[in-house]
């Protein structure tokens, strides 16, 4: 697997050479826009509204619109000068108990690894070992593709896993969702609570095994593509459960499901 990024992990007096490797990949059917008459893929040219001509991608420049509507042109070299140092380091600022980091802030995940055999692997391993001993997560910053991210770095299977964190303004306050706020005042009978706990116990896993779950939607999409490519008709089996109504006897439904 090829590394997606390489640079240094800065912590106290240490500067540890690292590489980042993607910790996950998206399995989704990729569609292209096509012409409705000939069925060929469509391209999207960059057109200058002022001169009415197409601009090649290699000639495109970046412009930032200020308050008076004027576009300030920024050269690629100027952005590169700012990025050069920032995009080559992951700087650790704080450490935190892992359980105190709210999962709502988690974003994408990548693995951290020492890039070369002659790099200071011992420092990398010692940092991972110490964090694992104290169950800590390191909070730091990184710039990738011109975007600065707050990141959390933690021990994972005796390696290091780095996850981007969402900024506070990117996370919706759960209290702003009316239906969730109303749940706080809900009252339940002891029989309802026991019945719900029995249902949960019935479906509780002793160990989490992600291999038990497959992307059924993507599989059906690919089956649709293959059927259409072969000229066959694709039929979808409808499996829509009836929504539970507020008029339903909740206790009765729970007891029937655990009988």
The whole-model pTM stands at 0.62
Over residues 155-181, mean pLDDT: 80
Residues 135 and 211 in one domain: no
Structure tokens at 182: 């109303």
Q: Indicate the SS3 state at residue 129.
A: helix
Cβ atoms of residues 101 and 115 within 8 Å: no
Pair (137, 199) in one structural domain = no
Residues 89 and 13 in one domain: yes
Residue 222 clears pLDDT 70, i.e. is over it: yes
Over the stretch 47-99, which tens digit does the pLDDT of each residue have?
776 777 777 777 777 777 777 777 787 777 777 776 665 667 888 889 999 88
Contact 5, 89 (CB under 8 A): no
DSSP codes, 134-157 = HTEEEEEEEEETTEEEEEEEEEET
Question: How many residues are present in the chain?
Answer: 259
Q: Which two tokens stand for residue 235?
A: 């039929």
**155 and 197 inside one domain:** no
Beta strands in 114-256 (DSSP E): 136-144, 147-156, 159-165
Measured distance CA(142)–CA(124) in Å, rounded? 18
Range of the domain at 205: 187-257
Q: What pLDDT does 107 receive?
A: 87
**Residue 145 and residue 240 in one domain:** no
The listed range with the strongest mean pLDDT (68-77, 145-154, 211-220) is: 145-154
Q: Which of 170, 201, 221 is the last residue of a domain?
A: 170
Assigned domain for 221 exists = yes
157 shares its domain with 91: yes
For 238, the 3-state DSSP assignment is coil
Q: Give me the percent of the chain exceeding a pLDDT of 70.
A: 73
The reply to whether 112 and 11 lie within a common domain is: yes
């Amino acid at each position: 697997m090829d590394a997606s990024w390489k640079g240094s992990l800065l912590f106290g007096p240490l500067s540890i050479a690292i590489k980042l490797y993607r910790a996950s990949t998206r399995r989704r059917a990729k569609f292209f826009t096509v012409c409705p008459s000939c069925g060929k893929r469509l391209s999207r040219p960059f057109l200058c509204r002022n001169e009415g001509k197409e601009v090649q991608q290699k000639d495109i420049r970046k412009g930032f619109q200020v308050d008076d509507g004027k576009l300030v042109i920024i050269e690629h070299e100027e952005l590169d000068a700012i990025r050069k140092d920032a995009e080559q380091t992951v700087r650790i600022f704080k450490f935190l108990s892992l359980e105190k980091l709210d999962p709502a802030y988690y974003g994408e995940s990548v693995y951290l690894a020492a890039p070369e055999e002659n790099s200071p692997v011992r420092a990398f391993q010692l940092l991972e070992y110490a964090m694992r001993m104290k169950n800590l997560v390191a909070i730091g910053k990184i710039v990738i593709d011109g975007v600065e991210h707050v990141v959390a770095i933690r021990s994972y299977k005796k390696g290091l896993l780095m996850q981007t964190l969402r900024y506070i303004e990117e996370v919706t306050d759960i209290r702003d969702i009316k239906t969730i706020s109303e749940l706080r005042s809900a009252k339940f009978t002891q029989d309802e609570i026991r019945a719900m706990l029995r249902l949960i116990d019935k479906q509780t896993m002793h160990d989490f095994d992600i291999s038990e779950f497959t992307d059924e939607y993507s599989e059906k999409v690919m089956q649709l593509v293959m059927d259409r490519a072969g000229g066959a008709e694709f039929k979808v089996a409808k499996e829509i459960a009836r929504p539970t109504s507020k008029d339903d006897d909740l206790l009765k439904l729970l007891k029937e499901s655990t009988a």
